[in-house]
Structure 1
């Protein structure tokens, strides 16, 4: 499955029924720390869990998706957790992890990405 570079957030949610409509709730953290704003219209893609996603028959590049950040990139992130070594952990597009040394849970910090790996990056606090 190809993931669009325009992906703003990724989360799991239940679909609930209310009167004559169905509702997918967006977690508060996605609005507060992400790039979505209440009152705006967005495209929503639904992917079933527990069932395999159909493979596309067209040829695709064999490489995995690239990290959503680059060395030298400046970003604002919110620290959601603390890692085993005491570093702050923030998540950005597609749940990609950025380790932020010296940051505390709940802090929203401006960082510069200093190292990028396939499954995580490291960012130094600028402010």
Structure 2
């Protein structure tokens, strides 16, 4: 977070937009968590260690679904393209072609990416 012209700006990593997690121009609500520390800000080496361990943990977890999986999901909303959007563990997004909000459907996962998976309905 940086101060610019009397306001504060929060930077969003480019990969979040490129991977479809968020879109420029859309409205988002964010929470800012603060903590007090008696020690000074981390040194460059400490930052590298924290960043490295966080990405190692993320890589080990990976997406909670695999291509070919069959799972039941509830469509929560519609995406910009009109496809259904469901969320599963850890808030992972599954885009369901033809899904409508409120539908609980059995889907087959066809394509898995780091932040999102694409699925087809196989049973209502």
Structure 2: runs of 5 or more not aligned: 1-31, 36-46
Mapped to 1, the partners of 2:74 and 2:55 lie a distance apart of 32
Mapped to 2, the partners of 1:100 and 1:87 lie a distance apart of 6
Correspondence for 1:98:
94
Mapped to 1, the partners of 2:115 and 2:54 lie a distance apart of 19
Correspondence for 2:33:
50
RMSD: 2.7
Mapped to 2, the partners of 1:61 and 1:105 lie a distance apart of 34
**CA distances 1:22-62 after superposition (whole Å, capped 9, x unpaired):** xxxxxxxxxxxxxxxxxxxxxxxxxxx6135xx998x8474
TM-score for the superposition, normalised by structure 1: 0.54
Correspondence for 1:74:
70
Structure 1: runs of 5 or more not aligned: 1-48
Point out the structure with max Rg over C-alpha.
2
What is the deviation of 1:79? 0.1
Matching of residues 1-127 of structure 1 within 5 Å: 50-51=33-34, 60=53, 62-63=55-56, 64=58, 65-127=61-123
Mapped to 2, the partners of 1:102 and 1:62 lie a distance apart of 34
Mapped to 2, the partners of 1:78 and 1:108 lie a distance apart of 4
What is the deviation of 1:93? 0.3
